[in-house]
Amino acid sequence: MKENQLHPADAKVSALLRQSRAAPSLPPRFQQNVWRRIEDAEAPASQPSWLDALAALILRPRFALAAATALVLAGVFMGALDGRHQARHEAQANYLASVAPHSLR
Amino acid sequence: MNRSLIILLGALALGAAIFAGSYFASQRATVMCCTNPADDLSWLRDEFHLGDAEMARIHALHEGYLPKCAEMCAKIAAKKIELDNVLDNRTNVTAEVQAKLDELAALRAECQAQMLQHFVEVSQTMPAEQGRRYLAEMQKLTLGAHEQMEQSMSSDTAHEHHH
């Protein structure tokens, strides 16, 4: 504790240092601006844009999982339909090639 | 760039990749499971909903027709070679070229008649409605291609004549 107590000479030096430090002049309407910033900080957050809302929705695990599942199911369904059509077409071409040579078509 | 926009674009790209992956995998799997390249007649069975008895009769007809078809194809191929040899270094249609063209056309006509006869026989082994549909489909797929080409050529010619 003894070490923490200032020596009278130190106090003097401190006072001199405080005096030597130039106090900068505050910008105009400093106080008003400080209060405005405090009010802004305390005000409720502004509404997010539709893009932010959509991004937040996409990042929700439940939504992401549902969307991925829907996409997989849609892809499988449409792929199977197209594959069936393609398989039918290939089978038809196969039959046609066996009974009707290209030179006759 | 805006963070939300990056997330949205990334999600769209990922979604497109997921959809495309499932689509092509499913398409490939369906084609592989539903086609049998070794079976020429699988299309008939599926398209015309034929039973085993009908398929057995069609199979016998098909097996009987294939050697005749192959023989005609060989004759046509040989005639084409003859025509090519006659055409070599010729700048005009000579009587010999015309004769080869006539012979080739006659062979093709004979082959087409044989093919149509086979289609008629196959159609008669099917139920009436399916048989009619089969015959119409086969005529469209074989002779129809020629008709389409001739029609397109005649319309092209008419178009040119109008000019």
Output the average pLDDT for chain A.
84
CA distances from B122 to A30, A83, A95, A102, B54 (A): 99, 28, 13, 20, 9
- Strand, helix or coil at A7? coil
pLDDT in tens, B115-132: 999 999 999 999 999 999
The reported pTM is 0.64
Question: Is the CB of B112 inside 8 Å of chain A's CB atoms?
Answer: yes
CA–CA–CA angle B26, B27, B29 (5° rounding): 65
C-alpha torsion A97→A100→A103→A104, nearest 10: -150
Would the ipTM clear 0.85, i.e. be above it? no
Which residue out of A51, A71, A78, A102 would a mutagenesis test of the B interface target, given it has the greatest number of B Cβ atoms within 10 Å?
A71
Question: What tens digit of pLDDT does each residue of A58-104 get?
Answer: 999 999 999 999 999 999 999 999 999 999 999 998 898 888 876 55
A82 interfaces chain B, CB cutoff of 8 Å: yes
Residue type, position B55, single letter: M
Residue A105, pLDDT score? 54
CA B80 to CA B86: how far, in whole Å?
Answer: 10
Evaluate whether B61 touches B125 at the Cβ level (below 8 Å): yes
Q: Say if residue A87 is exposed, middle or buried (CB neighbours under 10 Å; 0-12, 13-18, 19+).
A: buried
Mean pLDDT of chain B, nearest integer: 86
Measured CA to CA, the distance from residue A73 to residue B22 in angstroms comes to 8
Is pLDDT above 50 for B161?
no
- B89's CB contacts (< 8 A; 6+ apart) are none
